[in-house]
Amino acid sequence: MTFITSYHIFIKEFVSEFRTRYALNALLMFVVTTLSIILFSIGKESPTQDILSGTLWIVIFFSAMSGLSRTFVAEEERGTSMTLRLLVNSSSVYIGKLFYNFILILVLSVIIGISYLLFIKEFTVKSFDIFWMTIFLGSAGLASASTILAAIIAKANTKGTLFPVLAFPILLPLLLTCINATKLSTEGAFMSEAVKEFQILISFTVVMVATSFLVFDFVWKD
């Protein structure tokens, strides 16, 4: 495996995405739709910061589910996965696609975070360092789990429905930790108070990446 090969796969993914808009349009529309629904459903009510922290991560989770599987599903549907298998080793493919998914979900989470802060007046963040750190580490965790899951479900017949169903139990600890860390950011906690949450998020990502790296060859080849 060479990182240069992974880098070329990463660049290929971006160029391909900007030309085909396989995931990007769907993701952005999903964000707009879900945020509108939340805004309408809140109406004149004043939900607590706990509830709003939860809905933020629900939007991020389902947006990720609607777009992150595309990286492998599109290869299978277009019949290019075998081409890729004949060109490079599986580790390079995994690293390239993992970084692509990470950047995609990070950009998306930042857009969701900014939109949330702008449009939902009741959502007030007091510790922006904790908030943005949670967005960053949460995105890394989401990308680490969804990349291997996308590779698995790309070979199944019921791709669309299988992805969130499989992802939910795996991502539950990550989502709960992200919600807790977001709550801390709305309470004005110090960075040192959120260290435990960040440690869980980092550990989750490291474990997911290491496990995925070991099993990806089996998933990708047969």
Partner 1 sequence: MKKLTFKSENISKLYNRKIIFEKISFLLNEGTAFAVTGKNGSGKSTLVKILCGVLTPTKGLIEFTVDGKLVPYPDYYPHIGLVSPYLNLYEEFSAEENLSFIMKVRSLGSESVQRAEMLLHEFGIYDHRKKEVKYYSSGMKQRLKYCAALLHEPSVLVLDEPSSNLDQYGIEAVRKFMKIQKQNGILIFATNDKDDLEFADTVYSVENGKR
Give, as ranges, the residues between 76 and 95 that touch partner 1 (CB under 8 A): 78-80, 82-83, 85-89, 92
Per CB under 8 A, the list member of 12, 121, 126, 196 interacting with partner 1 is 12
C-beta separation of 127 from 184 below 8 A: yes
Q: Residue 3 or 119: which CB sits closer to partner 1? A: 3
Which positions from 17 through 56 interact with partner 1, judged by CB under 8 A? Answer: 19-20
Nearest distance in Å: CB 85, partner 1: 5
Shortest reach from residue 159's CB to partner 1, in Å:
18
Encoded tokens for 182: 């977001």
Give min distance, CB of 57 to partner 1, in A. Answer: 33
Report the interhelical angle of 128-153 vs 70-78 (nearest 10°): 30
CA end-to-end distance (rounded Å), the chain: 19
Q: Which is nearer to partner 1, 88 or 152 (CB)?
A: 88
187 versus 217: smaller Cβ distance to partner 1: 217
Binding of partner 1 at residue 203 (CB under 8 A)?
no
Record the tokens describing residue 53, joined without a space. 């922290």
Q: Which residue, 16 or 49, has its beta carbon nearer to partner 1?
A: 16
DSSP string, 77-129: HHT-HHHHHHHS-HHHHHHHHHHHHHHHHHHHHHHHHHHHHHH-TT---S-HH
Distances (CA, A) of 90 to 36, 96, 97, 175: 40, 10, 11, 29
CA distance 34 to 51: 15
- When asked if residue 8 is in the footprint of partner 1 (CB under 8 A), the reply is yes
Per CB under 8 A, residues contacting partner 1 are: 2, 4-5, 8-9, 12, 15-16, 19-20, 78-80, 82-83, 85-89, 92, 221-222
